[in-house]
Amino acid sequence: MRKLTFLLLLLPCLTAFAENGYDLWLRYKKVSNKALLQSYQQRLHAIVAPGNSPTMDIVRQELQQGLSGLLGANIPLTAAPRAGALIAGTPQQQPLLRNAAITAGLAKAGNEGFVLSTQNINGQPCTVIAANTDIGVLYGAFHLLRLLQTEQPIASLHIVSAPRIRLRMLNHWDNLNRTVERGYAGFSIWNWHTLPDYIDPRYIDYARANASIGINGAVLTNVNANATMLTAPYLEKVKALADVFRPYGIRVYLTARFSAPLEIGGLKTADPLDPGVQQWWQQKVKEIYQYIPDFGGFLVKANSEGQPGPQDYHRTHADGANMLADAVAPFNGIVIWRAFVYSHTNPLDRHTQAYDEFTPLDGRFRKNVMLQVKNGAIDFMPREPFHPLFGAMPHTPLMMEFQVTQEYLGQATNLVYLAPLYKEVLESNTGNGYTVAQVIDGTRSHDTLTGMAGVANIGNDINWCGHPFAQANWYALGRLAWDHSLSSAAIANEWLRMTFTNDAHFVDTAAAMMLRSREIYVQSTNPLGLHHIMGTGHHYGPAPWVDNQARPEWNPVYYHKADSVGIGFDRTATGSNALAQYLPKAREQWEDLRACPDAYLLWFHHAPWQYRMRSGRTLWDELCYQYYTGAARTAAMQQTWNKLQPYVDQQRFREVAMLLGIQHKEAIWWRNACLLYFQTFSRLPIPAGYERPAATLEYYKSLRFPYAPGI
């Protein structure tokens, strides 16, 4: 009886300190720094936020909820400014905001930006959130709350912030049956069966989370599209979501299946130059805008991986994109045409196919067409050189496509912080004096249509993303789309403070672990430029031996080309010559075997096993070193996290600890499987001092995962 009583007393304590991650980075816990708390309380006595729109209703609600939680006191709404008031609104809503300092800031803020400043209003010191639009006020409100959450001083604010990129989007690869392609956090959050009549509160929380980091677009459906999505019953469901998202500044987009005129329209062709097909799409678009007046437009995957497209009718990608662009143009819609194309009928290096197909079309797309380009030419690899198209299409707006979901980066069992990957790509010099970031933000070509998309990792798991730390990648995507000059460290610092605690020791230690995590994953799975050597189909775990897939470019052996001489894909002039697609200033860093950085060696070169690396080790010994060191570093991540237990709630601590245990086991699996396989070609021993693999190559080859998630 005494044990039972003790247990009953203990359980509420455990529950009180548990967090399930649902609140993401919007927890609004009371500020722990007493001096800052007092300063905040002195400067934020009341909220003045006029305006009658649904967005301004959200501004008032968010500020009251956030400030009440952070300051530990109810912060009332008031109509009249007073000392210590927070004034939020546009100059049209609040005439007191029409002063020279605010007006100058608003001239730079644009339609979505904001001014956050300390001002004397009617002789009273006030904190001001001013914007030209209601959505700008909402973004400013979230920014102010972020400053408080991360315990930043607000006594003398002078911030003018505007997004560097116009379209900041999540791409959901969600299917109508609620499965999610490459999704590792449960089923789709869109319950099409109960829409449009049942609005899950999660839809609102999703919109709120996106607005807090500046995301303003959502593609609701898989790029491997289903034409049913364009039928009236489903458009009613989309309308219901669009109505929820609109006050948060988020427009909905749909993926268009190119063969829809045949599948749901009763036509006998989908030829983009056929007048009947053009008329069908015009009518369909008109119907969509009747349901959703601010519909953003279409995202299209065509003539790739078996998807239908204009090439089925001997037309170009420009013919297909322009046909759809003409249909949405009267409604100010856009078409986002994916450049991810490859075909098994093309015998060339898959790396080269998108460039070959799209560069002849530069300048031939309508003004409301964007070309969405993956960060690299293969497919979201753990490390990949930037896509050559970013330096090759000056007359076409290019939109970045990153992957937030960790398809090739450990899925939901691995802690891999992706901001360093994003920054590595964005800061790459395309060879013409511009970085990739300057290409996609319009700096190079003065494009006004600019964009960055992330393939979402969001599912119906209680914590949204599967792995608690995977939330950081969603957060980082939004923050970098708003301002790509932010550092990976600054974003990690923000996210940790908002998601866990402001304790300096915890933040510094956990941030350092996050910043190392992507490099550790590369080292333990795909070192030295190896790529696409994962299990086929599910893409889970190592399988560099696979050579039986129906298409050559689906086989890992296609990419590593290991033989008795060496390993790696020769993409120089003596091989596929994919390097020729890069401008001279870019390719010169990779084309010489001796000068090529180790990180991309096997991406661009077939190097001998005895090739002497910069470390002094042979290539084979270096490969062993990388795999063993990567596995050891995953163990070190476990040790680091264990030391942070006093700073983390028990539920999330245990979740991350268990997942880091899985990550370490998977790193050993990658190490053993890959080295045993590559050893069959090198015929060289694993250097002395390393632990011997615990199983045979045949054992690793025998592993099967028929129900791995995300297929």
Range 330-339 burial, b when 16+ CB lie within 10 A, else e: ebebbbbbbb
Reported as a pLDDT band with limits 50, 70 and 90, residue 642 is very high
Q: How far apart are CA 248 and CA 54, in angstroms?
A: 9
CB-CB contact of 538 with 705 (8 Å): yes
From CA 233, how far away is CA 416, in angstroms rounded? 40
Q: Which two tokens stand for residue 452?
A: 């960055």
Taking the chain, what is the end-to-end CA distance rounded to the nearest angstrom?
Answer: 50
Assess contact for 366 and 321: CB atoms under 8 A: yes
| Nearest-angstrom CA–CA distance, 413 and 142 | 30
Instruction: Evaluate if residue 573 carries a pLDDT over 70.
Output: yes
According to CATH, the topology of domain 167-485 is: TIM Barrel (3.20.20)
And the tokens for 546? Answer: 């696979």
Residue 612 C-beta-side C-alpha neighbours within 13 Å: 1
At 5 the pLDDT is: 38
- Looking at domain 523-569+606-702, its CATH class is alpha beta
Share in percent of the chain as helix, strand, coil (round to 5): 45, 10, 45
Return the structure tokens found at 676: 């045993």
Cβ partners under 8 Å of residue 87, min gap 6: 48, 49, 81, 94, 96, 97, 119, 121, 126, 127, 128, 129, 130
| Residues forming CATH 3.20.20.80 domain(s) in the chain | 167-485
Report pLDDT for 40.
Answer: 96
pTM flag (> 0.75): yes
pLDDT in tens, 31-70: 999 999 999 999 999 999 999 999 999 999 999 999 999 9
pLDDT digits (tens, 9 = 90+) for 366-390: 999 999 999 999 999 999 999 999 9
CA angle 381, 384, 385 (to 5 degrees): 160
Q: With contact defined as beta carbons under 8 Å apart, do 527 and 630 qualify?
A: yes
Q: How far apart are CA 176 and CA 257, in angstroms?
A: 14
Instruction: Judge if the upstream peptide bond of residue 196 is cis by omega within 30 degrees of 0.
Output: yes
Two tokens, residue 486: 């932010």
CATH code 3.30.379.10 region(s) in the chain: 24-161
> Residues 599-632: pLDDT tens digits?
999 999 999 999 999 999 999 999 999 999 999 9
Q: How far apart are alpha carbons 199 and 190 in whole angstroms? A: 10
- CATH class of the domain at 24-161: alpha beta
The catalytic site residues sit at 305, 379, 407
Rounded Cα–Cα distance for residues 292 and 217 (Å): 14
Asked if residue 151 lies in contact with residue 502, where contact means CB atoms within 8 angstroms, the answer is: yes
Tell me: pLDDT of 707 over 80: yes
450: its two tokens: 């600019």
- What's the one-letter identity of residue 252? V
d(CA 432, CA 415): 35
d(CA 711, CA 382) in angstroms, rounded, equals: 19
- Please compute the mean of the pLDDT values over residues 162-178 and round it to a whole number: 98
- From the DSSP assignment, how many helices (H) and strands (E) are in the chain? 22, 15
- Do residues 245 and 251 touch, judged by C-beta distance below 8 A? yes
Question: What token pair was written down for 244?
Answer: 């929820």
pLDDT at position 686 is 98
* For residue 522, pLDDT beyond 60: yes
Is the pLDDT at 687 greater than 80? The verdict is yes
Res 17: pLDDT: 53
Which H helix or E strand runs over 89?
strand 85-89
User: Hey, is 582 helix, strand or coil?
Assistant: coil
Taking phi over 0 as left and psi of -120 to 50 as alpha, with beta for the rest, 464 belongs to left
Instruction: Give dist(CA 252, CA 245) in Å, integer.
Output: 8
Rounded to the nearest 5 degrees, what angle is found at the Cα of 557, between the Cα atoms of 556 and 562? 130
In the chain, CATH 3.90.1330.10 covers 523-569+606-702
465-481 mean pLDDT = 98
